[in-house]
Chains A and B, each alone.
Chain A
Amino acid sequence: MRLIDHAKVVNNMKPRILKNIFFKGVFFAATMFGLLVLGILLYRILTQGIGYLDLQFLQSLPSRKPEMAGVKTALIGTIWLMVVVAPVSLLLGVGTAIYLEEYARKNQFTNFIQINISNLAGVPSIVFGLLGLTVFVRALALGTSVLAAGLTMSLLVLPIIIVASQEAIRSVPNDLRQASFGMGATKWQTILRVVMPAAIPGILTGGILALSRAIGETAPLVVLGLPLFLAFLPKSVFDMFTVLPMQIYNWTGRPQEEFHALAAAGIIVLLILLIFMNSIAVFIRNKFQKRY
């Protein structure tokens, strides 16, 4: 008895190959759809905004005259915001992840924390804005300072960093930890010298993605009551400031067409900033990946 009926196989061959081609096409189209939309968006923004994008645009204050307007305060403000958000959110986020993954016992309490962190990641950003307004701006009387906004944004991105860091720490093979313990290392030494170096690429990827989100958020900052127009730059974390997305949002709402072009130019600056940050992440990731 022959197990394979060759005639049948030959008959089936054509539909099978066609099916294969069909699904390849479907998935390719799915990929291209996203890229196409992104491409159109970039093309529109670039053609609209490139005319306003020059050094003067980076060095000027906002103005009622479009040709004189710039994003100086907003750009510097966004960088200030990062200076607060990056250390606060990374320290708290990675700290929480290490505790939950390495130290905490798996019981109902840690389960409860875990569920809440995942839930927090899905809370709309405007809710964090209200929280920041009540706690940091009003109760702690920080006003609409860099610090108040930075802490609010840190809370907003904290769940993302925690979840990403946990994933990264969990993916470090247990053999490495066992080997380290076997050599007589303490838990802290193991975490510092074995787990962290292996987990850092993943942690940084999550961290940079989270920071990119913090850069682009507008809603919570609007709720905090951040000013839109400032003629001065912040000198410390207690000073008022404004950020790029708020400036862009303001410009898109103006009646005059020229301001819409300015908004597009602002978006380009924001995109460059994001690409810059992402390239730092790629750089650090590659540097550390060499070890393993």
Chain B
Amino acid sequence: MISFKYLALSAMIGAVLAFTAACGAGNGATNGSEGNTDQAGEENKQLQGEVKIDGSSTVFPIMEAVVEEFGMEQPGVKVSVASSGTGGGFKAFIAGSTDLSNASRPIKDEEKQKLEEAGIDFSEFKLANDGLSIVVNNENDWVDHLTVDELKKMWVEDGQVKKWSDIREGWPDEEIKFYSPGTDSGTYDYFNEVILEDTPIVEKATLSEDDNILVQGVTGDKNAIGYFGFAYYVENKDALKIVPIDGGNGPVEPTHETVESGEYAPLSRPLFTYVKNESLKNEEVYEFIKYTIENAAVLAEDVGYVKLKDEEYEKALETLEALK
């Protein structure tokens, strides 16, 4: 018993020491960096204030990168980024508690209406593109491309067991296994809009909010098909087989080039941020958005998305200036 107590005591003391050391060093580091930026601040104007951001978890990595860089230039501005999903973000936006709301789909009419009722004027800014990637298992040697109609036939619930042979002649007589992002995600919303068109998704589909689960699902099953954001495909390129999609002009595979040019249609989706116009009167919010648009191209590519065309960013900056 006594030896156990000594053990517990020494473990505790050890932990306390480790923590105080870590925290102490941490404070030292922040003080140091604040000192440095203060010196730099004599050149550019240092802003104060708060910027509150919420919304899509898909857009979150871009915003995180922007805030990280912006924080080095303007350490006085307290930016917070939450990630409650596109729908959840708009709820907070309507309640008036955020300045920016990120979205991985365009705003819905009912959300617009609620914002109007709440008396909130807003502007929409496009930040980047994402190519929804349709993938199958590596051992799947029959699918060379899919048309939008075939995709719809596969994914819509019609009470029948879906087999590959139902989709196209000569494909194996085996049941298709479906993997889809959860219904709360903007990714699902977008797929719903362009492929499902508001008809229910096939009942047997495995839904998951975690796209890594979808990757694992498709990797582990020869008859599987799934879809998710471009970044998840790029990271798992070797384990998955991408399906070129024929939107009417021949099969196109999602790549940086085809997504940026808009050739990969209709599954290229834009990523947005919505801004409360009233907040733009605060200089820190205005500067933050300006910074976001100016750097979105580089930072979006950094975290795995596809940048817009340069003229789109220039247009966005003009829109922003008109709002000031």
Decide whether A and B assemble into one complex.
yes
Closest to A222 in B: B84
- B29 at the A interface (CB under 8 A): yes
- A245 at the B interface (CB under 8 A): no
Q: A64-B61, A231-B75, A282-B8 are in contact. Are A253 and B54 (CB under 8 A)?
A: no
- B118 at the A interface (CB under 8 A): no
Q: Which residues of A contact B229 (CB under 8 A)?
A: 255
Q: Does A64 lie within 8 Å of B63, measured CB to CB? A: no
- B161 at the A interface (CB under 8 A): no
Q: Does B67 lie within 8 Å of A59, measured CB to CB? A: no
Q: Which residues of A contact B78 (CB under 8 A)?
A: 230-232, 240
- Quote the shortest CB–CB distance from A59 to chain B (angstroms): 4
What are the interface flags for A56-87 relative to B under an 8 Å C-beta threshold, 1 for contact and 0 otherwise?
Answer: 00110111100000001000100000000000
A-B pair count, CB < 8 Å, reads 113
Q: Which residues of B contact A252 (CB under 8 A)?
A: 210, 212
Q: Which of A59, A64, A143, A276 is in CB contact (< 8 Å) with B26? A: A59
- B68 at the A interface (CB under 8 A): yes
Q: Which residues of B contact A225 (CB under 8 A)?
A: 54, 82, 84, 88, 92, 97
Q: A138-B95, A252-B212 are in contact. Are A228 and B22 (CB under 8 A)?
A: no
Q: A58-B22, A253-B211 are in contact. Are A229 and B235 (CB under 8 A)?
A: no
Q: A58-B22, A58-B26, A272-B15 are in contact. Are A231 and B68 (CB under 8 A)?
A: yes
Q: Which residues of A contact B81 (CB under 8 A)?
A: 227-230
- A279 at the B interface (CB under 8 A): yes
CA gap between A250 and B61 in the complex, in Å:
10
- B199 at the A interface (CB under 8 A): no
CA gap between A115 and B154 in the complex, in Å:
50
Q: Which residues of A contact B83 (CB under 8 A)?
A: 228, 250
- A283 at the B interface (CB under 8 A): yes
- Quote the shortest CB–CB distance from A196 to chain B (angstroms): 22
Q: Which residues of A contact B16 (CB under 8 A)?
A: 276
Q: Does A64 lie within 8 Å of B235, measured CB to CB? A: no
CA gap between A61 and B75 in the complex, in Å:
13
Q: Which residues of B contact A144 (CB under 8 A)?
A: 80, 82
Q: Does A72 lie within 8 Å of B26, measured CB to CB? A: yes
What are the interface flags for A198-235 relative to B under an 8 Å C-beta threshold, 1 for contact and 0 otherwise?
Answer: 00000000000000000000000010011111111100
Q: Does A227 lie within 8 Å of B57, measured CB to CB? A: no
CA gap between A61 and B71 in the complex, in Å:
11
CA gap between A218 and B88 in the complex, in Å:
16
What are the interface flags for B43-86 relative to A under an 8 Å C-beta threshold, 1 for contact and 0 otherwise?
Answer: 00000000011100100110111011001000100111111100
- A256 at the B interface (CB under 8 A): yes
Interface residues of B in 1-27 (CB under 8 A from A): 5, 8-9, 11-12, 15-16, 19, 22-23, 25-26
A-B CB proximity, top 5 nearest: A227-B80, A231-B71, A64-B65, A229-B81, A255-B235
List 7 A-B residue pairs with CB atoms under 8 Å apart, sorted by A's residue number.
A59-B22, A76-B23, A226-B82, A227-B81, A231-B68, A257-B235, A283-B8
Q: Which residues of B contact A (CB under 8 A)?
A: 5, 8-9, 11-12, 15-16, 19, 22-23, 25-26, 29-30, 52-54, 57, 60-61, 63-65, 67-68, 71, 75, 78-84, 88, 92, 95, 97, 209-212, 229, 231-232, 234-236, 299, 302-304
Knowing that A59-B26, A225-B84, A257-B235 touch, tell me 10 more A-B residue pairs with CB under 8 angstroms.
A58-B26, A62-B64, A228-B81, A229-B60, A229-B68, A230-B79, A231-B78, A279-B11, A280-B12, A283-B8
